[in-house]
Amino acid sequence: MTATATRPPAAEQATPQATSLYGLVGDAYRLEVAISEAAEGLVSDDPEVVEAATAELEALLAAGEDAKDALLAKADAWCWVIDRLRDQAAARRAHSARLVALAQADERKADAMTDKLVDRLLFLDPTATKFDLASHQLKSTKVTTVEIEDDMIPEDLPAEYQRTKTTVQVDRVALKAALKAGTEVHGCYLSEGRSWRLG
């Protein structure tokens, strides 16, 4: 005979008290265990045990539906928050790009104003290397730069004045195709996973 009296009544097990996602998952797991245990009574030779197990299973299954609905509702609420966070991230990226563009525009304006100001001040003293103003000081440093004619390309210069930069990257598309086809590549392998996104 299978004993069922040691388990709490179905009604006590069937009422999820949790409201968090993890709590609801825990309740769903406990209900699944209780359903599995209650199902053991169905194979008893005692009709009373079978009847009690059947009643308990019906209560647990009903509670399981409620728990499932609560869990799916909570999951839907999580998805709403995830959507909001992704929208906020996109808005902040766009705002950041606008701020970068504005900062670059301000820098260009400041450079243009500096050039015009220095040009006017040099009209007063073409040999000056600094100007002491009431609240500011404009000073210069000597800068030597290499100028290259517009029609010249690096290959036109002698080799000692050329610099070659090579960037090597993994061709993951070709590598994936080769591995799928059975080609063995040392240090590389395929791994299976699942990517989730909100639709």
pLDDT greater than 50 at residue 86:
yes
DSSP state at residue 135:
S
For residue 139, report the phi and psi dihedrals to the nearest 5 degrees. -135, 155
Boundaries of every domain in the chain? 10-180
DSSP state at residue 126:
T
Please give the C-alpha separations between residue 186 and each of 28, 147, 169, 190, 193, in angstroms, as whole numbers: 45, 48, 17, 12, 21
Tokens encoding 70: 């609560």
- Read off the pLDDT band of 62 (50, 70, 90): confident
| Helical ranges in 40-124 per DSSP H | 47-124
What is the spatial distance between Cα 35 and Cα 58, in angstroms, rounded to a whole number? 9
Q: Count H helices, E strands: the chain?
A: 4, 2
DSSP state at residue 150:
T
pLDDT (average), residues 163-167: 89
- Read off the pLDDT band of 195 (50, 70, 90): low
- Read off the pLDDT band of 13 (50, 70, 90): very low
For residue 29, report the phi and psi dihedrals to the nearest 5 degrees. -65, -45
* Span between the terminal Cα atoms of the chain, in Å: 51
Q: Is 12 helix (H, G, I), strand (E, B) or coil?
A: helix
- Read off the pLDDT band of 44 (50, 70, 90): confident
Instruction: Find out whether 31 and 62 touch, Cβ atoms under 8 Å.
Output: no
| Helical ranges in 125-196 per DSSP H | 172-180
The rounded percent of the chain whose pLDDT value lies above 70 is 90
pLDDT (average), residues 35-41: 80
User: Of the spans 6-15, 28-37, 57-66, 79-88, which averages the highest pLDDT?
Assistant: 79-88
pLDDT digits (tens, 9 = 90+) for 98-132: 999 999 999 999 999 999 999 999 998 999 999 99
